[in-house]
Amino acid sequence: MKTSLLLLLGLFSASAFAQSDDEKGIRAAITQLFDGMRKADTTLFKAVFAPTASLQSIAKNKEGVISVRSESIPNFVTSVGKQKPGALDERLSAYDVKIDAELAIAWTPYVFYFNGQKSHCGVNVFTLVKLNGSWKIQSIIDTRRREGCPDL
């Protein structure tokens, strides 16, 4: 009985450790995305995306109408590459990561600064997949608002 309990605890500990390594890999992919954005380094930036990745934003227009806008990853990469280093600065206030095998989601509240000025804030929801041992961003959907944004 004691041996079974120790074996079970050992397996649980190994499983928890593997999840911890996965969470580190997920956070590293997201960090690389925003480091690449800040540096306007498209090579660093686009390396974190899965081949079929997508990007969407949920926003409210001046009339209060909610819409979901899609942007292609190649266009997103190009727009980042046109910026001066330091112009784009997205700051995350937290990470909530959930993992199941090769699938993960990360919920990350953020504040976005453009040329040092607070622009907007919201939440990113990343879907990531583990491809060839590396976490890649499969999709990003975010909210965007200009009111009630904290200082980060």
pLDDT on residue 82:
96
pLDDT of 31 higher than 70 = yes
Structure confidence by residue, pLDDT tens digits, 87-121: 999 999 999 999 999 999 999 999 999 999 999 99
Domain that holds residue 137: 2-143
Is the distance from CB of 140 to CB of 125 less than 8 angstroms?
Answer: yes
Residue 152 maps to a domain: no
pLDDT on residue 62:
85
Say which CATH number the domain at 60 has.
3.10.450.50
Q: Tell me how many domains the chain contains.
A: 1
- pTM attached to this predicted model: 0.83
Cα–Cα distance for residue pair 42/27, rounded to 1 Å: 19
